[in-house]
Amino acid sequence: MEDHLLGWLRTLDEDRLARILANRPDAIAPPWPRRLDTLAQRLSDGLAVTRTLQRLPLPCLQLAEAALAVADPTADRLAAFVGAPPGVVAPWLDQLCDHALAWPDDSGVIHLADGVTHYWTAPLGLGEPLDHYLNSWTISNDALRALARNLGLPAQGHKRRMIGRVAEVLGDADRLRALLRDAPAGTAELLDRFAWEGPSLPVDGGRFVVRGTPEKWCADHGLLFRPSWHVAEIAREVAVCLRGPGYHPPFTPEPPEVATLPVDPEEVDHLMTLAAPHVVERCAALLDNASKTPLPLLKHGGVGVREVRRLAKETGCDEDETRLLLEVCTVARLLAWDEASGGLVPTERFDRWRLDEGAARLRVLLSAWWRMERSPLRRTDGRYGTVLGDDATQAVALVRRAVLPVLAGLPAGTAFADRAGLLAAVHWHAPLLDRRLLLDCGPAVLDEAGLLGLLANGALTDLGRALAGLTAHPGDERDDAVPMVEHDPALVEAATRALASVRRSALFGPDLTAVVTGPPSAELAALLDRVAERESRGAASVWRFTADSVRRALDRGHDPDDLLDELAAVGAVPQPLEYLVRDTARRHGEVTVTTVGCVIQAGDPVLLAEIAGHRRLARLGLRLLAPTVLVSAAGAERTLEALREAGYAPVPVSDTGEITIRRVRAAEPAGVGEPGAGKLILLPGGQVAELSGADLEAPPHLLAEPPPDPREHARRLLAAGRAEAERSGRTWAVIGRMATRLPTAQQSLLGFVVDRGVRAGITLTGGLTATISHGELRGGALDAWCEEAGDYLEFPLAEIIEVRNVF
């Protein structure tokens, strides 16, 4: 099938090939193909074909399925089969061709990619083609000749010719009807049952060996085949003929109409500017809370409902918002499990994230939601699942990527009126999505989009449109980040505009309140949350300062002068607020609490006084609280060890007063971590660079490559195709003449790098090593993809001293 596709690709012009590459970015992913035959292999990859099918609307899939049931399908035959005018079928057939899932040959017959052919095991409820049964090893030449004679056909000739004659008769509706006129009674009913309810049905195997029965007659004339004693099948061509000329498979070229309501675009835009800053602000609040109180996980995994409610109450979020943002922060790698803390805590990436501008922080969160494989607001039997506990499935992410584009297609100034109609339209655009999953997750996706500022009043916001229009691969939950999504120009512009109206100042009143007339910036909200109690949120947010709220800030280590300076930077501080802060600070620390490592007790005050004054025990920080009570700054284990070294005989005592002497396992020696070695890489142009450990941990977007240009690739591939014939046969001669440092076996392996694109490791004279593939010969150099550099580089053939297999 790749040969058919390759032949068609060679006939395309630059515009058509560029259109295919734009629709199939998987085909030009690094290392991008250098020749049309390599491109054909990528376009034919089964997994890539299946993923492409998932993006196509219902009419494309219906035509592809129908093409499997038509012998030598052309555009006109397909149109007649589905009962639609050719002009209606043509655009959908062109869309299949523009995705390289179907293509015409010179005679106009439509060929399908192998991945499409294998996707349907029984297209339209039809079985395997006649060729599958007649070419089976279970049918001998003698049986085939007997079948031909039963059909009134010549029995001479080779097997292929006899198969062609039999298929011609059984695939012709008129000849099949003539054949059935002489069939035993009950044959038509038997075959109709197989044609409409088949292709495979249970049967009584004994009736297939009794003369005069419909089953025996059908088997003798090639109308039914038995793969086993109690099962019979009908061939695809026979079933289509039996269904009659009035049969047309489903073909729905028009999507279901989505009922809409008028909506004010300015109000939608305003609601987006309120929701987007709120998302960034609440995520920061959740993560700050988790840094102080790690989130424990349940035994079976996930965060419990009690913890979710506690977190929602302490951060001022509602429960649904908390569930969603916890999932998003985890996928964005801002929150992760920490063994030492015994719970979920913010990661180092959170420290970098909170220093970014607000729009960049928002894009990180939206990118994480776009690839998130769980739906925290999905209800099962009326109940939510456990946060971070349910099994992830990529199909949930596919539901998001199907719902938003349908919303983006609604007329401007309108919103969907009912969810059922919207989800029906989504299923038309993405028919391979599991319908039950769509009905379960669709409403949850809409709720999530509303909380994130992607949907407002039932209409998609500019943020939602930017996300729906993404062409970059969205990634999955295993990705720490997806730079091509986070730095998409349309998403950057929308996120910047969504946060353009945030307020960075507050109005402080003499009644100890602070009012922010609009969405507060994350920094302003964090400052006010730190020192005041939030009373309301919405178009305007109100905080109230109290002695308890100020004391709470002082408890966290904030200096009163610094607090007043920070408040003064965002607004004019009234005198009552300054008095409150300073008065609370004056009384702060009236009672002190000291942490001690352990307590030492003895009935002899003289003994304790001696221990307290012992020079060798000074490092323990001993302090005498009472004549018989001594406290140590060190822990109990260390204090016991020091006292024993000094010649005393202490014993450990539990909280209940009982002496507890236990065996202590010898501690395993801690491994000394070797400093991480840098990574040696090749840069474009053949330069060598070393990435240090800090560079390797840099944000991924620093190393991100721009998306490939389909038109540029199309132009290069067509030019390479024209030059391919000139280079044919030169590979081995050039390598044998130029790569003189290599033995013959390694020269052959290098030839496979050029002709077949295989991977190999090479070593150059300077000791530099590289992993290469997809090579081409350019004069005396090998131009090949270098995995270390992530680009095509030239390697002089004369300087290659070793070639080895890479697995």
pTM for this model (two decimals): 0.73
Element (H, E) at 582: helix 575-587
pLDDT of residue 556: 82
Element (H, E) at 415: strand 414-416
Question: Going along 180-230, which residue ranges are E strands?
Answer: 200-202, 225-228
The CA distance from 672 to 503, in Å, is 50
| pLDDT greater than 60 at residue 675 | no
- Of the candidates 446, 443, 430, which has an alpha carbon nearest to the alpha carbon of residue 395? 430
The CA distance from 160 to 225, in Å, is 19
pLDDT of residue 679: 42
Weakest-pLDDT range from 75-84, 415-424, 787-796: 787-796
**Cα 349 to chain center, whole Å?**
20
Secondary structure of residue 670 in the 3-state scheme: coil
Mean confidence (pLDDT) of the chain: 85
Which residues on adjacent β-strands are paired with residue 383?
380
- CB-neighbour burial class of residue 59 (10 A; exposed 0-12, middle 13-18, buried 19+): buried
In the chain, the amino acid numbered 149 is: R
**Mean of pLDDT values over 535-542:** 75
Q: What angle do CA 786, 790, 796 make, to 5 degrees?
A: 30
Secondary structure of residue 405 in the 3-state scheme: helix
- Who wins on pLDDT, 695 or 376? 376
| pLDDT greater than 90 at residue 425 | yes
| pLDDT greater than 80 at residue 538 | no
Share of the chain above pLDDT 70, in %: 91
- Give the model confidence (pLDDT) of 221-254 as tens digits: 889 998 888 999 999 889 999 998 889 999 999 9
Q: pLDDT category, 713, cuts 50, 70, 90?
A: confident
**Mean of pLDDT values over 109-124:** 90
- CB-neighbour burial class of residue 201 (10 A; exposed 0-12, middle 13-18, buried 19+): middle
pLDDT of residue 722: 60
| pLDDT greater than 70 at residue 593 | yes
Instruction: Annotate 502-515 with b (16+ C-beta within 10 A) or e (fewer).
Output: bbeebebeeebbbb
Q: pLDDT category, 729, cuts 50, 70, 90?
A: low
- Give the model confidence (pLDDT) of 20-67 as tens digits: 999 988 888 888 887 888 888 889 988 999 989 988 999 999 999 999
pLDDT of residue 657: 56
Q: Which pair of structure tokens corresponds to residue 155?
A: 């029995």
Does the bond joining 199 to the residue before it have cis omega, within 30 degrees of 0?
A: yes
pLDDT of residue 99: 94
- Give the model confidence (pLDDT) of 732-752 as tens digits: 788 888 888 999 888 889 988
- Give the model confidence (pLDDT) of 365-419 as tens digits: 999 999 998 889 988 888 888 888 866 677 888 999 999 999 999 998 999 999 9
pLDDT of residue 446: 94
Cα torsion 473, 479, 483, 486: sign = positive
| pLDDT greater than 60 at residue 678 | no
| pLDDT greater than 50 at residue 430 | yes
The CA distance from 698 to 692, in Å, is 10
Q: What angle do CA 352, 354, 358 make, to 5 degrees?
A: 120
**Mean of pLDDT values over 116-136:** 87
pLDDT of residue 320: 92
Q: pLDDT category, 658, cuts 50, 70, 90?
A: low
Beta-carbon contacts of residue 65 (< 8 Å; ≥ 6 apart) = 120, 123, 124, 249
Q: pLDDT category, 135, cuts 50, 70, 90?
A: confident
Weakest-pLDDT range from 123-137, 320-334, 677-691: 677-691
Number of Cβ within 10 Å of residue 298's Cβ equals 15
Enter the DSSP assignment of 351. Answer: H
pLDDT of residue 2: 59
Cβ atoms of residues 48 and 24 within 8 Å: yes
Q: Which pair of structure tokens corresponds to residue 290?
A: 């988790």
DSSP per residue over 635-648, as a string? -HHHHHHHHHHTT-
**Mean of pLDDT values over 776-780:** 84
The CA distance from 161 to 444, in Å, is 59
